Amino acid sequence: MELNKYIDHTLLKATATKNDIIKLCNEAKTYNFFSVCVNSCYVSLAKAELKNTDIKVCSVIGFPLGAMSTNAKVQETKQALKDGADEIDMVLNIGFLKSKDFDAVCKDIEAVKNEMPNNTLKVILETCYLEEIEIIKASELAISSGANFIKTSTGFGTGGATLNDVKLMKSVIGKSGAKIKASGGIRDTKTALEYINIGVERIGTSNGIAIVTESPSEEKNY
């Protein structure tokens, strides 16, 4: 198993500088991670740094709250794709989900997916704010709206991935072909393998180097 190819090497904090993003890209090249995951303002920089490699650029959209208008998410997506994003991680509208306005949740996701029929869309559920039944419902809605992956967390909520949340998400997938990305709090090799062993196909972490080198993490927050 090539652990490095499960990893979206991630830097999303508000204080991340251009130099931090360049360092992130250099680390991704050194360890041959699957992708780097950055805020949308840094997509063009990451794309330029990763030129002539097969490392993907992933942009978050509507991050971290998911509460902006659908049109804002669509425009951010368009710009990220124009700047060279290969994959998009969008945050589901959690307030709409909790309002039981499931139609609005779906339309929000569908509008983004319509901009990127051939690119990978991951929908972040932010499971730390959801009851078990809401995790199941959010997973169903995201998959029916075109999500290629359902993702546990932003890393900016009250908690990250849990094995139980992933098992609930997995129970919904069935024959849909959708995959799971676990993120938030995955900081070491043992934890990463626990998730992979229950069927996670991508891991979002700022501790990718610690995971692939089996060294202690620097306790980064994602």
pLDDT, position 222 = 76
Structure tokens at 158: 């009250």
Each of the 222 residues of the chain gets a pLDDT tens digit; together they read 799 999 999 999 999 999 999 999 999 999 999 999 999 999 999 999 999 999 999 999 999 999 999 999 999 999 999 999 999 999 999 999 999 999 999 999 999 999 999 999 999 999 999 999 999 999 999 999 999 999 999 999 999 999 999 999 999 999 999 999 999 999 999 999 999 999 999 999 999 999 999 987 766 667
Res 17: pLDDT: 98
* pTM for the structure as a whole: 0.97
20 catalytically annotated: no
**pLDDT number for residue 215:** 84
* Peptide linkage before 216 cis (omega within 30 of 0): no
CA 19, CA 65: separation in Å to the nearest integer? 26
113, 151, 165, 179: the catalytic one is 151
Tell me if residue 89 is catalytic: yes
pLDDT tens digits for 176-220? 999 999 999 999 999 999 999 999 999 999 999 999 999 877 666
Paired tokens of 112 = 């983004």
Query: CA–CA separation, 63 vs 206, rounded Å?
Result: 16
181 in active site: yes
Catalytic pick from 89, 108, 113, 179? 89
